[in-house]
Structure 1
């Protein structure tokens, strides 16, 4: 009987192990979640952040007559267990979902990587084609079709944003300039965009408030091998925020990856013109000039 008992125990152990969430260790030697995860996985991760923010949430509305419109809605939630906004908003969203009496089985949660190589990507590229550039991103779907999304934080508040989606009048997602470029690249080629660059510049100028909006979008594209799209976004950012050294640093990095050494050097020289103590620019310039001399 002992071999049978051992085999049974082994099957149970394998089954339990298969249910464990996938994790990885980042450059800071922190362990984080990646890929599909459950609410239990979130509860068990870290220092109790999930339960803390779940308990902190309080509803603002006395009644939610629109909740019945969400009974067949699926919500795909993309988060980073390394991300403060994800730690804040995902537990609050689940609390609201619970309070509305909706089924947790309607929620699909996917954790994305941080870091340079797989920036905001899933282990099986679960985010591919979905224009995820900020986390958390909540994508609401009916019959497989997107009907609205919340990007990073609510446009108004969670209840109002959710009510608007339920009633068919979703708010425009946050980060309007990033959305503009995502929509534009879905409709036009890069050469077509450059042909009308001035018009696009003035449209984006009215939508963007900080250089980090397009810088983040550019890096998401760069790390997912969409180098030409990243170059477009970084290039526009240098005109929108021409006095910020970081935008030239990012553009220079993308140009280096593209193999455009001449223009990468110009970018890093611009960084030093604006910030003479920038160590990364000094290092990159030295490498690029050596490479150029050896060609």
Structure 2
């Protein structure tokens, strides 16, 4: 009996040690100083970081001035956008990110999107992040907004929304997801 308990204990300790070693620490809110671009955010970020200088200069203005497409917002709520995960790759040095990232945040605030489902990853000019997530998601341009459900990518907006409005592009992505679920049901 003692041997069994010792064996279970040894396996448990070994398992916990392996878990500790494999757990990757993710630094949130990393900021770096660059010679060409000044301060730059890099890696995983919280929305609140964009309300600090120097990012607030462009973030707040674009966020506050953007007029939401209320019809699209209503459709996003009906499509239960809050049940999807979103990964956003952006650059604090990038003009397209300066325009579209604050707009996306305003859309997500309006639909009461849970911050726990949102991952914001800031990249450098080479479109690299400290954790290498840009390679995992094959990100070539920023901003890139990726919508996932159950760990599967449903769609993405790359650099600029094709309709001219992020909220309309998001509606189109969610409509495709609905149709794919219906197709799956009837194909069985």
Report the Cα distance in structure 2 between the residues aligned to 1:24 and 1:44, rounded to whole angstroms: 14
Contact 1:36 1:110 in 2 (8 A): yes
**5+ residue gaps in structure 1?**
1-17, 171-295
Residues 249-293 of structure 1: CA distance to partner in whole angstroms, max 9, x if unpaired? xxxxxxxxxxxxxxxxxxxxxxxxxxxxxxxxxxxxxxxxxxxxx
Look up the match of 2:108: 97
Look up the match of 2:32: 24
Q: CA RMSD in A?
A: 2.2
Higher helix share: 1
Contact 2:28 2:46 in 1 (8 A): no
Look up the match of 1:233: none
TM superposition shift of 1:151: 0.4
TM-score, normalised via structure 1 length? 0.47
Report the Cα distance in structure 2 between the residues aligned to 1:85 and 1:66, rounded to whole angstroms: 23
1:140 aligns with 2:150: no
1:54 aligns with 2:33: no
Report the Cα distance in structure 2 between the residues aligned to 1:19 and 1:168, rounded to whole angstroms: 34
**5+ residue gaps in structure 2?**
1-25, 179-188
Look up the match of 2:96: 85
Report the Cα distance in structure 2 between the residues aligned to 1:96 and 1:80, rounded to whole angstroms: 19
Report the Cα distance in structure 2 between the residues aligned to 1:48 and 1:22, rounded to whole angstroms: 19
Larger relative contact order (CA 8 Å, sep ≥ 6): 2
1:160 aligns with 2:168: yes
1:42 aligns with 2:53: no
Contact 2:63 2:103 in 1 (8 A): yes
TM superposition shift of 1:164: 0.8
Aligned residues: 149
Higher strand share: 2
TM superposition shift of 1:104: 2.4
Cα 1:69/1:168, change in 2 over 3 Å: farther
Which structure: larger Rg? 1
TM superposition shift of 1:105: 2.2
